[in-house]
């Protein structure tokens, strides 16, 4: 007899297949906790969670963050329906999260989907930009507002087992098809209090249409279930 966990994972897989409209090139659901404890918490101008944990073309991919201030601290609190997120503080104008991936031989429109939240004093104003010439020129896709998670006035609170679609963003990156290197940045346009944090999760880059938000959430849960079974 199959276990309940196996049945759940199987049902999730079926739902994903039926919901997905595009090929996932690379995706990060932040599967590993960052170091903790005195002297171990990562700090500095930059930090990387490494290669994508999902997708058809994960080789050479990187998800990282850059901060002007070396006092920036990097932690992995609960994600939006996934176990961990990529969080950092000490935000200045121009600081960013960055995803690097090759879209070579993908000719359908390139789309990006991600979840992002902030603390009460974290930066609220960001812009989505990308480059296909190694950062020489940048295309601005859109400005966007990051919602607060938790605390007074917040529309919701991120948790590892509960997905909230209010925190999900998705855009088409026109002109990013068939690129040897695509650099996508989620860039702050404001300075925030030193302790104010922003966190990002479920960063997925597709060739073709982005799956419905519910399918993206199931993908994160499927990964969590799989890790619990090991």
Q: Sign of torsion, CA 126 127 128 132? A: negative
- Segments forming the whole domain that contains residue 98: 23-211
Nearest alpha carbon to residue 216 among 148, 157, 170: 170
DSSP 8-state secondary structure symbol assigned to residue 208: S
Q: Is 87:197 a contact under the CB 8 Å cutoff? A: yes
164 in a structural domain: yes
The count of domains in the chain is 1
230 in a structural domain: no
How many Cα atoms are found within 13 Å in the side-chain-facing hemisphere of 197? 15
Give the contacts of 218 (CB within 8 A, at least 6 positions apart).
Answer: 12, 15, 16, 19
229 in a structural domain: no
Strand partners, 132: none
Strand partners, 74: 88
Nearest alpha carbon to residue 147 among 138, 137, 158: 158
Other residues' Cβ atoms within 10 Å of the Cβ of residue 90: 21
pLDDT at 53: 97
117 in a structural domain: yes
187 in a structural domain: yes
115 in a structural domain: yes
pLDDT at 218: 52
pLDDT at 21: 61
Give the N- to C-terminal CA distance of the chain in Å, as an integer: 19
12 in a structural domain: no
pTM of the model: 0.84
pLDDT at 210: 80
Q: Is 186:102 a contact under the CB 8 Å cutoff? A: no
Q: Which two tokens stand for residue 49?
A: 């969670």
Specify the CATH number for the domain of residue 140: 2.60.120.200
pLDDT at 217: 52
3 in a structural domain: no
Nearest alpha carbon to residue 9 among 230, 218, 215: 218
Q: Give average pLDDT by consecutive 10-residue segment, the chain, 230 residues.
A: 37 38 92 96 98 97 98 98 97 98 97 98 98 98 98 93 96 98 98 98 94 58 44
């Amino acid at each position: 007899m199959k276990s309940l966990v196996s049945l759940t994972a199987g049902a999730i897989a079926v739902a994903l297949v039926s919901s997905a409209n595009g090929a996932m090139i690379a995706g990060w659901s932040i599967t590993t906790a960052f170091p903790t404890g005195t002297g171990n918490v990562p700090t500095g101008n930059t930090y990387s969670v490494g290669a994508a944990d999902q997708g058809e073309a994960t080789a050479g991919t990187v998800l990282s963050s850059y901060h002007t201030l070396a006092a920036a601290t990097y932690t992995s609190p609960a994600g939006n329906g996934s176990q961990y997120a990529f969080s950092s503080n000490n935000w200045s104008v121009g600081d960013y999260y960055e995803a690097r991936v090759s879209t070579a031989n993908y000719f359908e429109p390139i789309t990006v989907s991600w979840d992002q939240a902030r603390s009460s004093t974290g930066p609220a104003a960001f812009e989505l930009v990308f480059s296909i010439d190694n950062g020489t020129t940048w295309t601005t896709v859109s400005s966007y507002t990051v919602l607060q998670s938790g605390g007074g006035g917040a529309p919701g609170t991120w948790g590892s087992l509960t997905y909230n679609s209010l925190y999900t963003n998705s855009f088409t990156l026109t002109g990013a098809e068939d690129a040897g290197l695509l650099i996508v940045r989620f860039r702050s346009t404001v300075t925030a209090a030193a302790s104010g944090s922003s966190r990002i999760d479920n960063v997925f880059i597709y060739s073709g249409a982005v799956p419905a938000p519910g399918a993206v959430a199931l993908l994160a849960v499927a990964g969590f279930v799989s890790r619990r079974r090991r």
